[in-house]
A and B are shown apart, each in its own frame.
Chain A
Amino acid sequence: MISPLEARYYRRRMPLLWWVRRRTHALFMAREVSSLFVALFVVELLLLVRAVARGATAYEAFLDAMARPAVIVVNLVALAFVLLHAVTFANLTPRAMIVRVRGRRVPSRAILASVYLGWLVVTAFLAWLVLA
């Protein structure tokens, strides 16, 4: 038996990198780390806005900088994490949001389908806005 005093100060030892051992823990951490790349890309977007505000020459320089191989690699990694974020967040919606129509619960598949449909609409609109 351990005394209550000992129990109070008992701490289970955890390795510093406790999340690398199990796949589910590593996936959890990858999902959390996605936020870093979300922030990184927002900074890139702000740099784009700054370049556009400064004029055509600055905008060309921005495009050149984005076309450097190292930057493309970073952006591909960022894309993987941002997509991981998007998919995991979208799949969360049916759990976070329970919709009832005439007293009956809308099945989570239907909610999920509408989420992805909305995502497609937003994606198409933004692509049109940028490129058209």
Chain B
Amino acid sequence: MTARTERRVTPEPFVWLLFSAGGVVAALVLPVLLVLFGVAIPLGWVAAPDHAHLLAVLRNPLTRLGLIGVCALTLVHAAHRLRFTVEHAFRLRRYDPIIATACYGAAVVGTAAAIYLLLAAL
């Protein structure tokens, strides 16, 4: 390593911080929601919450902010991981600029959708 490469500023530490935060949030929050909405409610193990209750929960400012945070962090986490998964699994590192743009771009679009849905549409 030369001194020049050491001094180079990269966004890598920042992306890494978001990546690990997103991993923690995904591990904590997603399993229970996936069990409920993906399995238990569709199979009739538990009754679906009624619309008014969910609307009230989602309109709470804390829920709005929390859910936006969850979506943003988990999507950045998934994008970062998917970028390197695709590149390593199929040896496509050559196309990193395209793959990185597509992955992070999708995360940004998803986050924007979350912000719109939770702040404007509800």
Contact = CB atoms under 8 A, between A and B. Distances in A.
Nearest to B43: A72
* Size category, B interface: 35 or more
A71 interface: yes
Interface string B74-112: 110111011011001111000000000000001000100
Interface residues of A, number: 52
B110 A35 contact: no
Interface string A15-57: 0111100000000010011011011011111101110110110
Interface of B: 20, 23-24, 26-39, 41-43, 46, 48-49, 51-52, 54-55, 57-58, 63, 67, 70-71, 74-75, 77-79, 81-82, 84-85, 88-91, 106, 110, 113-114, 117-118, 121-122
Interface of A: 14, 16-19, 29, 32-33, 35-36, 38-39, 41-46, 48-50, 52-53, 55-56, 59-60, 63, 66-67, 71-72, 75-76, 78-79, 82-83, 85-86, 89-90, 96, 118-119, 122-123, 126-127, 129-131
